[in-house]
Structure 1
Amino acid sequence: MATAVSFVCGLLFGFGLLLSGMANPAKVQGFLDIAGRWNPSLAFVMMGAVAVAAIGFAIAKRRDKSLLGLPMQIPASAHVTGRLVLGSGAFGVGWGIAGFCPGPALVALGLGSAKAWVFVAAMIAGMAIFELFERRRQTALATGS
C-alpha cells in the first residue's frame, strides 16, 4: 500500500512540476535572471509549495506515525554547517546554469529531453564522486588519520 501511495504522490508531484513550468529550463533560468528579463511566475509556485510544506510539517511534527502507519522521519537538526552552505551554493549554481534541479530533471527525462539526459547523467556522476569522497572521509575519521 505504501508503495502505491508513494507512486501516486510521485505522479502528482511530477504533474505539478510540469504544470508549474519547473521542468522547463528556460522558464527556470528566466526566473533566476533578476538582472535581465526576469520572469517572477515561479516565485508564486515556490510560495505555494512552502505554504503547503509548512502545513504538512506542522501536522507531521505532532504525529509519531504517518497516515499509512509508517514512522515519521523529520530531520532533527537545524544546525547550519560549512558543508551545508557549500552544497547549497553548488546546488544553486548548477540550477542556474542548467535550469534543472533533480525532481524536474527526472520529469523532463521522462519527456525525452536530451538536456535532461545530460543533466541526470552528470547528477549521477556527481553523487557517485561524492559517495567515494565521503567513504574516504568516514574511513579517515574512523582510523584517526
Structure 2
Amino acid sequence: MNRNAMKTAAGYAAGLMFGLGLAISGMTDPARVLGFLDVAGAWDPTLMFVLGGAVVTTFIGYRLVFKRSAPLLGGVFQLPTKQELDGKLLGGAALFGIGWGLSGYCPGPAIASIGGVSLPLAAMLVTMVLGWFAAKRLG
C-alpha cells in the first residue's frame, strides 16, 4: 500500500476511534454537555472525566511521538509556530464557546451525531459551515 493510502486509512481509523469514543462517552448528547455547563443547577461532571482522559492520552501520546525523529507517515512534524494571542484567536474561541453553550455541540460530536439530525444540530452545522466561510473571507 502506498504512503498516501496509508495516510488516508490512518486518518479514517483515527476519526472512527474518535467518533466511537464520543458516542460511548455520551458526548454526542447535547444535554450532557449543557448539564456540565449548568454549574448552578443539575451539574453533570461526565464531560470533566472525558476531557481528563483526553488530556492524559495526549500527554502520553506526545511524549511517545516526539521520541521519533519523524512521523510514521509523513516527512517532518508540522507544529504551529505562532504563540501570541490575538483578536482572531480570542474572537474565534469566544464564538466557539457561545455556540457550544447554546447548542451543546462542538464540531466533533456534531459530525458524529449527524445520523440522528435534529433542528438544533442542523442549525449548529449550518452556522459552523458559515463560520468557516466567514473565517476564510476575513483571514
Partner in structure 2 of residue 96 of structure 1? 101
Does structure 1 retain, via aligned residues, the 8 Å contact 2:22–2:109? yes
Q: What is the CA–CA distance in structure 1 between the aligned matches of 2:138 and 2:86, rounded to whole Å?
A: 18
1:121 matched to 2:126? The reply is yes
Deviation at 1:70, TM superposition (A): 4.2
Q: What is the CA–CA distance in structure 2 between the aligned matches of 1:62 and 1:73, rounded to whole Å?
A: 15
Structure 1, gaps ≥5 residues long? 135-145
Q: What is the CA–CA distance in structure 1 between the aligned matches of 2:134 and 2:81, rounded to whole Å?
A: 27
Deviation at 1:59, TM superposition (A): 3.1
Deviation at 1:72, TM superposition (A): 1.6
Percent pairwise identity: 41
Q: What is the CA–CA distance in structure 2 between the aligned matches of 1:85 and 1:64, rounded to whole Å?
A: 33
Deviation at 1:38, TM superposition (A): 0.5
1:112 matched to 2:101? The reply is no
Does structure 1 retain, via aligned residues, the 8 Å contact 2:33–2:104? yes
Does structure 1 retain, via aligned residues, the 8 Å contact 2:99–2:124? no
Deviation at 1:24, TM superposition (A): 0.8
Structure 2, gaps ≥5 residues long? 1-5
State which drifts further: 77-86 or 38-47. Answer: 77-86
What TM-score do the two structures reach when normalised by structure 2? 0.86
Query: 5 Å matches for 1:11-22?
Result: 11-22=16-27
Instruction: Report SS of the residue matched to 2:97.
Output: helix
Output the aligned Cα RMSD: 1.6
